[in-house]
A and B are shown apart, each in its own frame.
Chain A
Amino acid sequence: MNASARHDAVVIGAGHNGLVCAAYLAKAGRRVLVLEAGESVGGCAVSGEIHPGYTVSTCAHILHLLHPGVIADLRLKRHGLALSAPDLATLALLPDGEHLLLSSEVQATRDSISRFSRRDAERLPGFRARLERFAGALRPFLMATPPRLANGTWRDRWTLIRLGIAIRRLGRTDMRELLRIVGICSADLVEDVFESDVLKGVLAFDSVLGSFLGPRSPSSAFNLLYRAAGESDGRRGALSHPKGGMGAVTAALAAAAKSFGVEVRTAAPVAKVAIEDTVATGVVLESGEEIAARTVVSNADPRRTFLDLVGPDQLDTDFVRRVRHIRMDGATAKVNLALDGLPDLGGSGPHMANARLLIAPGVDYIEHAFDDAKYGAFSAEPAMEITIPSLHDPSLVPEGGHVMSIMVQFAPYRLRDGGWAAHREAFGDHVLKTLAAYMPDLSGRILARQVVTPDDLERDFRVSGGHWHHGELILNQLFMLRPVPRFAQYRTPIDNLYLCGAGAHPGGGIMGAAGRNAAREIMRDWSR
């Protein structure tokens, strides 16, 4: 314990989880300093100007997981968090100009699906309800500290028991079904129930978004549950747009943190965690400045935290092995466009106002896209999630202009044949070429284009492997296995060093749960 330190905690990285964690610690009366390597706060939840007057969420673009408890506890609404679109529909585009619209309007959704399959239209509500029941059983555990299996305390055992009870309380049929689907692939899950390619494509897309998984990869079905477990401003599973883009969310978090007394320093990259005899005593900045702290909290991903900031000299070989084996190669890229007007979607046009657009016209389409990535190429025909936030947030663009934010699956971190520097623009061209089949006039409307590959994400946002979630969200890297077994309680082998980022439970997405859970564990240790 570094009693003489001016700071009770130094948080490395002002991404959303770092800010959440810092805010909670400060709210409890602690002196907290957040150090951000970049010029501004936000991490992967930032907005950027890609053309004079045109602002768009650089990386993450849809808010659907931010925990209501975090919003309330940190008074984020008072600090500027607002939604420009609280409940986005899903508009799946098909190359022939057809579309499928899924929204919270039950009848409209039913009618839309019926044009492809009456059976599917009938079965979707039941499918969703079941998914929601499963998600409901899991939801409380997003905010719980994962239990330790060996050497656990009564609290660890109680968490396990509660999980068991939650699953058992689903009832016999649902429990069996949950246990059946938890490890299977999403293709099997949706093919069990539905017959229309377009609906299966939509569901399968959501199961692989942000992951290096295809619909036929094991455990991809679980991602649907995980996604459903998220909440947006109290609406379960709802997709929303924050006003001002994703940067506004972290701006609100930063404002909230500061209101509790958190000090935030930008352009202060941390080079090392200072460690004396297996205990963290502070950090050393790249500038050489040393900052002492009672506790060091890392919002950096586990690989960066342990291999770079701590270093193998302070760690055991077997632990380092586990960290090196975390699957964290990103496969999602982002293409952001500034447009001089809305693209022509033909007959689907009227529906885009309050929807995200999906290019995922079938399970096979997505799986083929994944196949390319599996062997080190970007997808010849990528699957995409597209938002046009300027439709309901005029503050992002000048009069008449629009911004389009495109999340592209798949763009593997390890690109064969020369790496991303040589292929970034070709990739951007390729995405637009694919989109041209759905929006023929799009390319003529582009004022500016920004391509963010996993390579860029690693360099500019300091995320190892460019993985959005600081490590694949896959069954074997979740809960008590995240980031590595035995260290899923936000604590690390180094005393007084904690993890608070997406690399820890419950993982990525703009959720804030990891930051909040970490703060709880840190304070628990402090009160010992």
Chain B
Amino acid sequence: MDTFTLIALSGLGLGALYFLLASGLSLIFGLMRVLSFAHGAFLTVAAFASWTVLRHAAAPSLGLLLVAVLVSSVAAGILALVTELTIIRPLKGKVLEQLLATAGLGLALVALLAAIWGPDEHMIPQPGWVTSTTQVAGAPIPNTRFLLIGAAAVTMVVIQACLSRTRAGLVIRAGVENAEMVAALGIDVKRSFTAVFTAGGMLAGLGGALAGSYYGGVSPYLGDQMLIFAFIVLIIGGLGSVQGALIAAVVLGLAQSLANYYVQNGVGDILVVALLVVTLLVRPQGLLGQKDRLV
């Protein structure tokens, strides 16, 4: 039972990471129809930013971790902003080219990180609280799990609040349905595109900093592995649906961790892919997606 609690909460933590990446991708896809292959690299860049902040501290404080998280998010946000302005926007309307360009960018960024800091993993020092455990139902749970789950929950609430209570959110919700009509009402949708792409980058950045805590280190290939699972979360949840991404992230994180532990290492990963295939065959639009999205 103890083990189960530990594995389940670890699975939720993993799901939280997937969600941080997938929620941004989902918003971006919903509004712009762009599936960004560069977001894995954004996450990795952010994790390196976090490492840069924390690497020299012997025993970093929680405050320094917070600084690292902020720096990471901002770094990834700026990267996403520049990407949107220089690559995505000039390719306006060419969804395939946009997707391919993000793939090329992701490739180049990861290689650049490997060139600068080498291909191997770097340990990221963590505050004592993060590495210690809390007893839940008799099981010692590493606090990173709570950190991740908390961050994902806060992210979800903030996204929902922004979408439902601000004018920018209103424009985004309308733009997800029909960006053309939003423009015909006199609204500059391009600005929403830029804002959403940047916000998605910041969420990837948040994910990057926290992934560094979860795994205790960072390598240039951290984000790409996560990106594949984030894509799967995105498709199962329904492209463009943040709630769908949340549900799918929880289910996949749990299923993957439990199967990897209780059946055989690797089986959980394959189970996730199998779930995706089943979803694609049975309900191609995903849990909460709309059918016409998958044109």
The answer to whether A and B interact is: no
Q: Which residues of A contact B (CB under 8 A)?
A: none
Q: Which residues of B contact A (CB under 8 A)?
A: none
